[in-house]
Copies of this chain bind each other. A is one copy, B any other.
Amino acid sequence: MSAIAAALGVSAATVSNALSGKGRVSPELIEKVRSKASELGYVPSLTARALRTGRTGVLGLVLPDIANPLFPQIAQAIENAASNAGYGVLIADSRGDIAAQTEAIGRLLERGVDGMVIVPRRGTRIADVGCPVAVIDTPSTPGNTVAADHWEGGAQMGRHLAALGHAKVLLIGTSVSSNVQNDRIGGLKAGLGARVECDTMWIERVEAVSGEGCPLGLAEKAAAGFTAFAAVSDLSALRALTELQRAGIGVPEMVSVTGFDDLIWSAVVTPALTTVRMDMAVIADLAIAALIRVIESEGEEEEAAGKVTSEIDRVPMQLIVRQSTGAPHADGVPNLHARTPNKPTAGELKP
């Protein structure tokens, strides 16, 4: 309460000026106010400040589905970046539903967020909402701010597999409508090059006919000559890995399996998954920085209200080679070289 600090014999306005360093206050008075404030345990009311200034210091984080295993990485990075910048993070889950997404955005708006970070539902474009917005998706989505370079990540993985000598690889995606997954698959194909034969399996489609959690029939694919299974998400990669292992097909000495995103289990599974990781910390920093830039400059430039449209930042992805990839077997002869113990590779994070 600046009223209490006014027990110094000065006015509340002076206290406010002293603490914020805005107006004209003598240095010695500033010092006295400072010490008195901490003596009294003064903590400013962000609510009142928000009412006066119109800025709450809170950002919204809109997620397509909190249950998504990638979410912890995103949320942690965003929370960290925001809190470093002095902002709080209000979460909103659109639970996969597109109506819920707009409704969640509305609720955040009512709460007076200064801006929001949106990870859009697959295939959704974010219309103009009433506040600065940063979208995290994929560079191929138009009008976005920041994203990992999924295409290039796929290309890295493709080149890795091609270099190992794989000539027939199965690409495994989940949802045809996901921009991110399509980018990754496009990159994979490009990285593999024209000479390697590849086929794409969409889990969503096989589950539509065989039921959820059904076997993907990968043993048959292996028998048909596929030597590498490049999933577009670590969850699918895990599914492939266990299904192959269960069928007695050794990974990586018979076939290779790769994933995407370096999810929590990738490093602890046997064999540890070769995957591609995005640097969420960097992405979050960029998104938050862009958001804050717009927020702070609002008022000075009236025209640029709304979307953060200026630039598309694409953050490179990082290939992490672990134990699940190796050279393809030559006529059933297992690649024993790959039977190394499961020790961590350089450049990987702790699980």
Contacts and interface: CB of A to CB of B under 8 A. Distances in A.
A46 interface: yes
When all copies of this chain in the complex are counted, the total is 2
A2 interface: no
A47 B43 contact: no
21 contacts: A45-B112, A58-B90, A66-B75, A68-B72, A69-B265, A75-B91, A75-B93, A76-B95, A80-B95, A211-B344, A213-B267, A213-B268, A213-B342, A214-B343, A215-B270, A238-B238, A238-B268, A239-B270, A245-B245, A246-B270, A246-B271
A91 B215 CA distance: 38
Interface in A43-58: 43-48, 50-51, 56-58
Interface string A233-264: 00100110111011000110000000000001
A347 interface: no
Nearest to A50: B47
A111 interface: yes
Nearest to A89: B91
Contacts of A93: 75-76, 79-80
Interface in A179-231: 211-215
Interface of A: 43-48, 50-51, 56-58, 61, 66-69, 71-73, 75-76, 79-80, 83, 88-93, 95, 107-108, 110-112, 211-215, 235, 238-239, 241-243, 245-246, 250-251, 264-265, 267-272, 341-344, 350-351
B342 A214 contact: yes
B69 A69 contact: yes
A71 B270 CA distance: 24
A247 to B, nearest CB: 8
Contacts of A250: 246
Contacts of A238: 238, 265, 268-269
Given A51-B47, A58-B111, A245-B246, A344 B265 contact: no
Contacts of A89: 90-91
